[in-house]
Amino acid sequence: MSVRELVVLGTASQVPTRHRNHNGYLLRWDGQGILFDPGEGTQRQMLRAGVAAHDIDRICVTHFHGDHSLGLAGVIQRINLDQVPHPVTAHYPASGQRFFERLRYATAYRETVRLTEAPVAGGGVLAETPSYTLEARRLDHPVESFGYRLTEPDGRRMLPGRLAAHGISGPDVGRIQREGALGGVALEEVSEVRRGQRFAFVMDTRLCDGAYELAEGCDMLVIESTFLDEDIALAGDHGHLTAGQAARVARAAGVRHLVLTHFSQRYGEPDEFARQARAAGFDGELSVARDLARVPVPRRAA
Amino acid sequence: MSVRELVVLGTASQVPTRHRNHNGYLLRWDGQGILFDPGEGTQRQMLRAGVAAHDIDRICVTHFHGDHSLGLAGVIQRINLDQVPHPVTAHYPASGQRFFERLRYATAYRETVRLTEAPVAGGGVLAETPSYTLEARRLDHPVESFGYRLTEPDGRRMLPGRLAAHGISGPDVGRIQREGALGGVALEEVSEVRRGQRFAFVMDTRLCDGAYELAEGCDMLVIESTFLDEDIALAGDHGHLTAGQAARVARAAGVRHLVLTHFSQRYGEPDEFARQARAAGFDGELSVARDLARVPVPRRAA
């Protein structure tokens, strides 16, 4: 399965609205599902978005404010109620271990699933799988917050002209890919690097090095833009980004598809977030997230 | 203010559905608001139902299964975020004190409101106010569960014919009401008892004495009917009621308005719950609860 898409479960910061649930995102990455920042009500949003408890393999929590984590309790109970057959791993700031435990054991239920607690201390590589490496970087928020990044290992794209010039065809193409050379021809002579896809999830934070590092070269960046630019002072006070700031991170990092989300309830129509992102010079693909949207990760760059 | 109504916030047992959030109910009783069993997502359902954090004076939790209590975390955080100006009291089974604390302190937030923990140990009278006495009774469920009951103190209804016969009119009517007698005429001679209103909230439970005691003589009974009668064995196994059982409790107790709720997702249309309640012989007012409904407490009996 090669589906790689973001399923938006909720997009509100701090308080939910009629049209926006608290935060929540499922990243489908081949056959895996990674749930980011489940706010309260994520369990019900999953139902509305066609996401099952079985779809979750990994949970990544940026920080322990309620809008990013209260939904953990319901999601964990639901994973157990549905007797998900595979283990699930949860990443979250190690400094919030007590919060994770309170949410994990918030009320009485029967544990049926192996849930591995994998607290994040300093950041760095958290997991390596055949289809991605998962890393975390520290962000800058009033409570400790980590952003996450998935990097697919680079592959190689075969070049038909070069293969033909060397007389390689049929089963030999697979052989040189597997073995790295064939009859004196190196794989590098008949192929080029196919860069792996990169995805980052950045919230909540002020502008900081971690945000830029996570975003660097990403095919998709999901980033908080709680405020509009006119409220930049408020954003700074509360440890958040504006639409323009988020877009400048994306532009500097060469992001291909920018997803703005985590909006303050104080704003009405979301178009202004897109306008300010464009005004800040971001000219790639741009989505202003809405609940229950599905956003495909861009195809690998040529 | 004399509004007395039930605001239904959610009606699903165990798992939410597209049309039913997890449990949750606000009882408006004059100027007071009593929140019963806030399941996950209650914070957002409040918004949809026009209930503000300020409207909550008291919280009553029957038991610590997630569908009855996971919403506590969000409600408590929202009460504090909105800086509700009055104190709030929470009642819940004392055996679940650890669960209450985990939900109260589930994630980082700033406490601004005085929230009094009032755990229920054996049952009995929990609070007396001018407009109601609050009591709890133990129910019968796999985890300790208490039902709740509000009883308004009886008042007296003045009888115009008797007043006239004794020549009592104008300001003297108020005087005899306040003082209990006037010029040798006792209040009892010119008035009759006006029974106070009674409300009960019963879930989750098998049939038990507590359920009957709570329901006795109630103007409104909100009671779980998780199952239909054909699944009575399942109901017994899991410590729940069927529609017919709930209706028999209401009939035996002389309930005026029966509100059935807390439905299993296995059933489609809710009409069958009403049909089975009627088949069980309940002939008072009947509501099959739906999310966001408002159900007035019946006016005082004549």
The yes-or-no verdict on residue B47 having pLDDT over 60 is yes
Yes or no, beta carbons of B73 and A40 under 8 Å apart = yes
Mean pLDDT along residues B86-93: 98
- Write the DSSP assignment of B74-100 as a string of letters: HHHHHHHHTT-SS-EEEEEEGGGHHHH
pLDDT of A87 reads 98
Q: Model-level pTM?
A: 0.94
Quick one: pLDDT band at residue B268, thresholds 50, 70, 90? confident
Q: How many helices and strands in chain B, by DSSP H and E? A: 10, 18
The yes-or-no verdict on residue B1 having pLDDT over 60 is no
| Integer CA distances (angstroms), A21 to A39, A68, A291, B122, in order | 8, 11, 7, 39
Both structure tokens of B94: 């004392």
pLDDT of B158 reads 93
Chain B residue with the nearest C-alpha to that of A16: B44
Mean pLDDT along residues A95-118: 98
Own/partner pairs for A46-49, CB < 8 Å, 24+ apart? A46/A9, A46/A75, A47/B16, A47/B17, A47/B18, A48/A292, A48/B18, A49/A7, A49/A8, A49/A9, A49/A292, A49/A294
Q: What is the ipTM of this complex?
A: 0.93
Yes or no, beta carbons of B17 and A43 under 8 Å apart = no
For A12, list phi and psi in degrees, rounded to 5.
-95, 140
Quick one: pLDDT band at residue B302, thresholds 50, 70, 90? low
Yes or no, beta carbons of A107 and B40 under 8 Å apart = no
- B262 a known binding residue? yes
Q: Annotated binding site of A for Zn(2+), which residues? A: 63, 65, 67-68, 141, 204, 262
Question: Which residues of A are the active-site residues?
Answer: 67
- B63 a known binding residue? yes
pLDDT of A300 reads 83
- Write the DSSP assignment of A67-123 as a string of letters: HHHTHHHHHHHHHHHTT-SS-EEEEEEGGGHHHHHHHHTSSB----S-EEEEEESS-
Distance from CA of B98 to the nearest CA of A (A): 9
B66 chain-A contacts, CB cut-off 8 A? 73-74, 77, 106-107, 109
Chain B residue with the nearest C-alpha to that of A144: B108
Contact (Cβ atoms closer than 8 angstroms) between residue B190 and residue B159: yes
Mean pLDDT along residues A50-67: 98
Contact (Cβ atoms closer than 8 angstroms) between residue B104 and residue B72: yes
What average pLDDT does the structure give for chain B? 96
Cα gap B38→A142, rounded to integer Å: 29
Yes or no, beta carbons of A48 and B102 under 8 Å apart = no
Q: Look at the block and give the residue holding tokens 């090669």.
A: A2
pLDDT of A269 reads 82
Catalytic residue among B67, B219, B229, B291: B67
The secondary element (H helix, E strand) that includes residue B300 is none
Percent of chain B with pLDDT over 90: 96
Yes or no, beta carbons of A48 and B18 under 8 Å apart = yes
Chain A residue with the nearest C-alpha to that of B67: A74
Cα gap B63→B221, rounded to integer Å: 18
The yes-or-no verdict on residue B202 having pLDDT over 70 is yes
Distance from CA of B25 to the nearest CA of A (A): 17
pLDDT of A302 reads 61
Yes or no, beta carbons of A108 and B143 under 8 Å apart = yes
Yes or no, beta carbons of A44 and B143 under 8 Å apart = no
Interface test with A, best of B77, B98, B107, B111 (most A CBs within 10 A): B107
pLDDT of B175 reads 94
pLDDT tens readout for residues A189-220: 999 999 999 999 999 999 999 999 999 999 99
The yes-or-no verdict on residue B301 having pLDDT over 80 is no
Mean pLDDT along residues B3-13: 97
- Write the DSSP assignment of B204-220 as a string of letters: S--S-HHHHHHHTT-SE
What average pLDDT does the structure give for chain A? 96
A66 chain-B contacts, CB cut-off 8 A? 73-74, 77, 106-107, 109
The yes-or-no verdict on residue A1 having pLDDT over 70 is no
B109 chain-A contacts, CB cut-off 8 A? 65-66
Nearest to B50 by CA among B80, B12, B7: B7
Domains and CATH numbers, chain A: 4-154+195-296 (3.60.15.10), 159-185 (no CATH)
pLDDT of B227 reads 98
pLDDT tens readout for residues B127-155: 999 999 999 999 999 999 999 999 999 99
Using a 10 angstrom Cβ sphere, with 0-12 exposed, 13-18 middle and 19 or more buried, the burial of residue B173 is middle
Among candidates A16, A96, A99 on the partner chain, residue whose Cβ is nearest the Cβ of B43:
A16
The yes-or-no verdict on residue A55 having pLDDT over 70 is yes
Q: How many residue pairs from chains A and B have C-beta atoms closer than 8 A?
A: 105
Among candidates B40, B48, B81 on the partner chain, residue whose Cβ is nearest the Cβ of A40:
B40
The secondary element (H helix, E strand) that includes residue B42 is helix B42-49
pLDDT tens readout for residues B154-201: 999 999 999 999 999 999 999 999 999 998 999 999 999 999 999 999
Both structure tokens of A265: 């309830």
pLDDT of B11 reads 98
Residue type present at position A240: H
pLDDT of A268 reads 85
The yes-or-no verdict on residue B214 having pLDDT over 80 is yes
SS3 A124: strand
